[in-house]
Structure 1
Amino acid sequence: MTDLIPAPAAVDAPRGGGAVRLDAETTLYAAPGTETTANWLRTTVGPALGLPLAPGGADDGSALRLVLDDTLAAEAYRLSVDGTRGIELRGGSGAGVFWAAQTLRQLLGAEAFRSAPVGHGEDGGGWNVPAQVIEDAPRFGWRGLMLDVARHFMPKHDVLRYLDLLAAHKLNVFHFHLTDDQGWRIEIKRYPRLTEVGSWRPRSKWGHRASDLWNETPHGGHYTQDDIREIVAYAAARHITVVPEIDIPGHSQAAIAAYPELGNTDVVDTASLGVWETWGVNPNILAPTENVLRFYEGVFEELLDLFPSRFVHIGGDEAPKDQWKESATAQARIAELGLSGEDELQSWFIRHFDTWLTERGRRLIGWDEILEGGLAPGAAVSSWRGYAGGIAAAKAGHDVVMCPEQQVYLDHRQHGGPDEPVPIGYVRTLEDVYRFEPVPPELTEEEARHVLGTQANVWTEVMENRSRVDYQVFPRLVAFAEVAWSTTLPAPAERDFAGFESRLGAHFQRLDALGVDYRRPTGPLPRQQRPGVLGRPIEGAPPNV
């Protein structure tokens, strides 16, 4: 009970104790609307424990029951373990029942997180769950992880694995960063060169600013549209929404390399550009022409067929406008539209796609730079450059997802020690993440309602493979998940980090069973170390980096 992560809102254990036993005779009853959880229990938890969980009736004495309850909020649940009636997972929706199942999995022990049984139960014949009632509900509706697969491609099976890891921590949004200067990762059938050319670079750089760490093996890959359908369906079965991101108008060199006419051809020889091999802010930006708008409308048309998410992310960050200043075409567009300058030109670009998406029943979301030059009324903001963008957006009536780099950029180093892998950015420890507060105190109660939730961001410049992603993400994502979910956390300074660390000890066993290559509390294992590469702090960072 005390080892549950995220911490539930309320746990009531009877004084007399008792337990419910799950064994080979235990049946599973699934009321209509709970089928996804039943399938997950039978294909994930059942095989781990060697339990068939055969279909049964609601009144079977040995039943594990899944029930909907419209008196509960959509993602809320009540998990009842009763020695007489068995185990009941009751949720306000299918999602609520699913989150109850994640809690049950933790109650069953680390063995429930393996892919095959390693024993026959606690006493050779089954698994005991202590009698109790757990009532819980999430603080935020948007509890997310953003994964950048453009800088370093992650194969489909690894993406599916990360969806499982999100589900295990009750996170429900997967922000899929699919395009950038260094790679275009999604098949667009009408524009095949986006993946034929844009998904590969001839070599890849390891590390951030350590220019001697080049890997001469070509790097790349992409997801076919069938891959995307599989990823979206896999996520939906775990009550996770996949929010796609196609970055415009900056971070677009991979697209320009594939189709040079997308760039500012009157300023740059775009035909000579390749997919970018290094990291940082790229100067190449899309041209503000009708042809470019039509091109990306074609991209988004195919995207909407693949992703049912209400929100579509269009990036909008780090878009240098020097080429627009030099481009006669861009300046003519500014004059034609009666704009005050390049910032308003970007706003015009973003507003075009806000209108386009709204007409199709979707909502635009972008990084907080889209506030510059004015923002369309229905657009939402991912606030990454600290809290300021989110505060400004919420005060102006826009919905916000809080993901400030100073708190929840998990590519930033976890420790300043010399044995850490190639680092980037600030030192942000496990405790720093645990004390992150998504709702700024500057917001009124009404303004705070515009904070949809929060997400942690994982940019992969310094993460060349799955093991490196695991190391950077865990265990900090565990702390983040509790911040995003738990309604009982006090103010940051008052949070019981020692208590969280104590619960984390048991959770490490779960991560071990899942095969997560996390950072140990004592520091990196020898195979995780990369000594002698100190990196360089980002400009303006505090002295602890």
Structure 2
Amino acid sequence: MSTFPRRRFVGVAAALALLLSPVPALARQQAEKPPVTVPALTDWTPESGGYGFGPGARLVADSPAEIRVADTLADDLRAAGHGTVPVVGGAARTGDIVVDIRPARKSLGTEGYELRAGKRLSVTGATETGAFYGTRTLLQLLAQGGRVPAGRAVDVPRYKERGVGVCACYIHVSLPWLENLVREMAYHKLNQLLLELKVKSDAHPEADTWGYYTKDEIRRLVALGEKYHVEIVPEINSPGHMDPWIENRPDLQLTDSDGARQPSRLDITQPAAFAYYTSLIDEYAQVFKAPAWHMGADEYMLGSDFAKYPQILKYAQDKYGSGATPQDAFIDFVNRVHAYAAGKGKRLRIWNDGLTGANTVPVTAGTTVEHWLNVATRPSQLIAAGYPLMNASYSLYLIRGGFHSDTEGLYDQSWDPRSFEGEKLASAQGVTGAKISLWPDNGRGETENEVAVRLWPALRHIAQATWGDPHPDATYAEFAARGTAVGHAPGRRDLTSVPVPDGSYTFRTGGVTFDAHLARTADGYVTLRGPSGCLAVSGGKLTLNVPLQPGVQATWDSCAASNTLQRWQVQETAGGYRLVNVITQMAMSATGDGRIVQYPPDQHPPAVWQLTRGAHTS
């Protein structure tokens, strides 16, 4: 029998049991882990206790910039269901949230912030933008409950430009969808939205084919971007892809050696063509405030080559000598746009694929190059030549109805903005950042709501890869769980809601009446099935597989679940409902002879439909 004292044995056993038990160790490990956010916090110092958000919380802010940040946070807290939180000045008390801007905190840079959580919570930035991003982290933490673990985080982005590009250039993308995108971008600390789009022109009404936005719509979007610190950079692609602008201006179209005019190519040898393009820059400046202009400059000779346009070589040689190449005329146009934009206080941005190395004239210094395609001029060469370089890699693309970025694969590879198409750089020096890109190559291939489902994982990944550690979790599943935990941005509209239940209805407006069975689709729209088939927009000239002409008639076609042109939004409005085609984004109007036709809402008042439940359809 052991002579070991019993009391000592019990004490040692208890100590061993405590040491071997996984519970305290797990609790300690969890307490030491940073709270869950997207992007992940990389510098977190845990403390004991925590901050509890409650009914008595106030937002404490004193300077005008602090008050702006606090007012936006108050709006978002209310939208997130946290109630009305007052914005006050003066001393903070237990339970308050303090917004603090201290320019002396240089180490935080222009966008970094410090977050401290204890009996009260504070976000501190050297700038208004930095403090704003601290409030985005707070919103994500509150989305997971009303308590924030005590501790301190210093969070500073690795890259200056963190973005999303959207080509709303042929196929119209609805304004509510873009507004949702701006909110989601800000929630995840993305700061740049490139929009290739058409603004309805007062100076050139002949260019106002559908796909445009009104100036008031753009002002509304830009104001939202300013509130949420998202810079919205406009693009009119040139000198290629100009058909949305010059299809009705044959005098500006490039003519080939056979005498055929090219509606997609601007004739860069004409002074009138340059004047036309710069007049559009001036008109866009009325609504866009970003200190940047994107001119695209990609795929000018897509499907052709300079040899078919001898006037371009002549232009180049007349200006730069007998050794000049046709590519020099192209670069000359880019540089003239650069000079014009600079004179308006704007920095030029271009795509990289036009920089083939066949030119003797260099691109003007300071032009930002967005690299998306592997061509002869390498990313390292562009950086060595001093050009700011953004990673817009094709591997980050989401093509509507086509290729989609492999977000999980990129995450597993620890992809970061140094990884360009065709080359991975050893250093991030000279790289401004990266963005994902959305393009409508098959405009009817997916609906906006379907695109959104594909977008959110890619958006969260690019936010993580441009702000911090590109691989914060051991597996993609763990990283994806972060997105689930933080949810969506406050104020984001649910664009999948349908204001009427499924069922059979009689639709009436003016002199038009029809019966149809309304059924919700999986992506949050409806189909309308009548006795002769499903209501669809078809016919007319197709652009990217979509009938975009105003006045095209809606007809009853054979029902097909895959036909997105048979999907509709039912929008509640004063006195009834509007019917908007999901793909064309035009509302239905009724003609005097009983036809149902589509028009942009600013060209023809949309019909207001009365819906009566219980109609019989077969």
TM-score, normalized by length of structure 1? 0.75
Question: Of 365, 368, 383, which residue of structure 2 is paired with 1:380?
Answer: 368
Range with bigger deviation, 60-69 or 242-251:
60-69
- The match for 1:411 among 399, 405, 409 is 399
Distance in 1 (CA, whole Å) between partners of 2:391 and 2:405 is 19
Change (3 A) 1:355 1:27: closer
- Aligned twin of 1:187: 200
- Supply the distance in 2 between the matched residues of 1:89 and 1:2 (Cα, whole angstroms): 15
RMSD of aligned C-alpha atoms? 3.2
Judging changes above 3 Å, is the alpha-carbon distance between structure 1 residues 310 and 513 closer, same or farther for their aligned structure 2 residues? closer
Shift of 1:104: 0.4
What secondary structure does 1:361 align onto? Answer: coil
Comparing 434-443 with 234-243, which one deviates more in the overlay?
434-443
Q: Judge conservation of contact 1:378–1:398 (CA < 8 Å) in 2.
A: yes
CA shift, 1:300, in A, is 1.2
More strand by percentage: 2
Shift of 1:354: 1.3
After the TM superposition, which residues 214-233 of structure 1 pair with which residues of structure 2 at under 5 Å, given as runs? 221-233=211-223
Query: What are the within-5 Å matches in structure 2 for residues 231-246 of structure 1?
Result: 231-246=221-236
Partner of 1:60: 92
Listed as ranges, the gaps of 5+ residues in structure 1 are 111-121, 179-184, 201-220, 274-281, 413-421, 518-524, 534-545
2-side partners of 1:254 and 1:330: how far apart? 22
TM-superposed CA distance for 1:309, in Å, is 2.0
Q: Distance in 1 between matches of 2:53 and 2:407?
A: 40
Tell whether 2:46 aligns with 1:13: yes
Question: How many equivalent residue pairs?
Answer: 454
- 1:442 to partner: Cα distance: 5.5
- What is the DSSP-based 3-state SS (H/G/I as helix, E as strand, rest coil) of the residue aligned with 1:176? strand
The answer to whether the Cα contact below 8 Å between 1:317 and 1:368 also exists between their aligned partners in 2 is: yes
Worse overlay, 133-142 or 226-235: 226-235
State how far apart, in whole Å, the 1-side matches of 2:373 and 2:305 are. 24
Instruction: Pick from 377, 386, 389 the counterpart of residue 397 of structure 1.
Output: 386
Give distance in 2, aligned partners of 1:379 and 1:251: 20
Matches within 5 A, 1:377-526: 377-386=365-374, 389-406=378-395, 408-411=396-399, 422=401, 424-425=402-403, 428-433=406-411, 435-440=414-419, 443=425, 445=427, 448-462=428-442, 464=444, 465-486=447-468, 488-489=469-470, 496-507=475-486, 515=494
One-letter amino acid of the counterpart of residue 56, structure 1: V
Are 1:301 and 2:279 an aligned pair? no
One-letter code of the match for 1:194?
A: A
Structure of larger gyration radius: 2
Which region of structure 1 is more displaced relative to structure 2, 465-474 or 165-174?
A: 465-474
Q: Which secondary structure state, in structure 1, belongs to the residue aligned with residue 204 of structure 2?
A: coil
Distance 1:47 1:503, change over 3 A: closer
Equivalence map 1:294-333=2 (5 Å): 294-320=275-301, 322=304, 324-327=306-309, 329-333=311-315
Q: What's the CA shift for 1:8?
A: 1.2
Deviation at 1:176, TM superposition (A): 0.8
For the 8 Å contact 1:383–1:402, the answer to whether it is kept is yes
Question: Does 504-513 or 429-438 show the bigger shift?
Answer: 504-513
1:398 maps to amino acid: Y
How far 1:498 sits from its partner (Å)?
4.7
CA distance in 2, matches of 1:32, 1:511: 23
CA distance in 2, matches of 1:383, 1:272: 26
Choose between structure 1 and 2 for higher RCO, CA contacts under 8 A separated by at least 6 residues: 1
Between the two proteins, what is the percent identity of the paired residues? 21
Counterpart CA distance in 2 for 1:352 and 1:296 is 11
Residue 189 of structure 1 deviates from its aligned partner by 2.1
SS of corresponding position for 1:34: helix
Which residue number corresponds to residue 270 of structure 2? 289
In 2 relative to 1, CA 297–514 (structure 1 residues): closer, same or farther, beyond 3 Å?
closer
The one of 320, 325, 329 aligned to 1:341: 325
Q: Work out the CA distance in 1 between the residues paired with 2:234 and 2:110.
A: 24
> Which AA in structure 1 matches 2:242?
S
Q: Give per-residue Cα distances to partners, 1:149-192, cap 9 Å, x unaligned.
A: 013211222222211111111100011111xxxxxx21232112
The letter of the residue matching 2:297 is G
How far apart are the structure 2 equivalents of 1:154 and 1:66?
A: 36
1:47-196 matched pairs, under 5 angstroms? 47-61=79-93, 62-70=95-103, 71=105, 72-83=108-119, 86-109=120-143, 127-178=146-197, 185-195=198-208
Q: What is the CA–CA distance in structure 2 between the aligned matches of 1:38 and 1:258, rounded to whole Å?
A: 49
